[in-house]
Structure 1
């Protein structure tokens, strides 16, 4: 299966939004707020979103932010979202997206990647562990 990974382009937005809703279950995401937010992220310069293409169609994505951290000059990379089309899961696409981001991070001198995953997403947890990620903390949030 030949998968190409590249940085997101405007014409990819609808497919990425569909993946965000269908795979990650985030119904708050829509094309309008996605476009506005991604434009702001691009201006910031610390955010990157990459898409996986199979047969010229977006079948997956990963979005990241480079965050600063005390005690680490370069900081770390935080994966904010990763999704692969349900019908194409378990075919190595998610792993290719992770490896791409890992290589990107190494190229920037970043040595740590973190991510959060919901308690109920046990398949995702197994996927991350299979790819060498350790389950070493809880993420907490509070709606205001």
Structure 2
């Protein structure tokens, strides 16, 4: 099985949107808002998305942002999403995406990568720990209803 990793192109968007929903459970992601977001991310310049391909079919992706942090002059990479198609999981694709991310960080002199993973995604937690990532914090979020004053 030949796995190729490259930067995302617009032809990949539909499959990546499918993975956001099917693997990560993000049903609020659709092709229209994904396209707009990718355009904004490209303009910002501190975001990067890679896709994994088998026989030119997108089977996974990782998207990240370089964030600044007080006390860390060059900042860190924050993985915002990583998913591999269910039918090809456990074949090294996710690991290749992580290695691509790590190489991308090293090329820029970034020595820290962080990510959040849903509490119930225990298989994902084991995957990250297997790849050398430490479980060292909790992520918290709060949603606001912007339609109410």
Where has structure 1 moved over 6 Å in runs of 4 or more? none
Q: How does 1:1-144 map to 2 (within 5 A)?
A: 1-144=1-144
Following TM superposition, by how much is the alpha carbon of 1:50 offset from its aligned partner in structure 2, in angstroms? 0.4
SS of the residue 1:125 aligns to: helix
| TM-score (normalised: structure 2) | 0.96
SS of the residue 1:141 aligns to: coil
Over the residues paired in the alignment, what is the CA RMSD in angstroms? 0.4
The unaligned stretches of length 5 or more in structure 1 are none
The unaligned stretches of length 5 or more in structure 2 are 145-149
> May I ask how many residue pairs the two structures share in their alignment?
144
Following TM superposition, by how much is the alpha carbon of 1:2 offset from its aligned partner in structure 2, in angstroms? 1.0
Partners of 1:73 and 1:2 in 2: CA distance: 38
Partners of 1:35 and 1:123 in 2: CA distance: 29
